[in-house]
Amino acid sequence: MTGTKRDAQTLLRAARADAEAFGAFYRLLERQVLGFFMRATGRPELAADLAAETFARALEGLDGYDPDRGLAEQWLFGIARNVLRASYREKQVEAAARQRLGLPVLVLDEQSSEAIARLIEDDHATLALASLPDEQQHAIRARVVEGYEYAEIAGELRCSEAVARQRVSRGLRNLRTRLAGER
């Protein structure tokens, strides 16, 4: 496992008892989450609102995180996808979790808005990877990023080696299709 992924796992586990650990988890993944929402919406203010609600829901749902079911980043992006779907469905950004936590209304200055807008230019592969189904994301990260053998991936995913190979293959095919569509 790479240092960043291990750090995210460790921080999320520690966040149940340590608020500073959640802050570090937030700082570690904030840019990726903002980039995901910027690519989805094309609007910096909306991306920031969606990211804020995502992290608020993550904070509220810490007890629901199960490291045996996937990486911390996958869990967070699952929440992000749900927040995005709800915003499309309701035609507004839900702020319930932020309100329950007593977080202030988010106001962006021009510099912050421009910085978020630039995220659309960065990390195309990372963002495309985050949009894949969790099992494909995990298999690709394990094989391509972290260099695990298929047998190790199968053991971690609790599936056969053939299924692990299939998840990597399908994931890479989906990733190529998504990245080709962005050009």
Would you say domain 3-122 falls under CATH 1.10.1740.10? yes
Cβ contacts of residue 179 below 8 Å, gap of 6+?
Answer: 124, 125, 128
Model confidence at 1, pLDDT cuts 50, 70, 90, reads very low
Domain with CATH 1.10.1740.10 in the chain: 3-122
Cβ pair 82, 54 in contact under 8 A: no
Instruction: Read off the pTM.
Output: 0.56
State pLDDT tens for residues 31-59. 889 888 888 887 788 888 899 999 999 99
Q: Rounded to whole angstroms, how far apart are CA atoms 124 and 87? A: 23
State pLDDT tens for residues 28-38. 998 889 888 88
Q: What is the CATH number of domain 132-183?
A: 1.10.10.10
State pLDDT tens for residues 89-123. 776 666 665 566 565 655 556 766 666 565 555 45
Domain with CATH 1.10.10.10 in the chain: 132-183
Mean pLDDT of 128-140: 82
SS3 148: coil
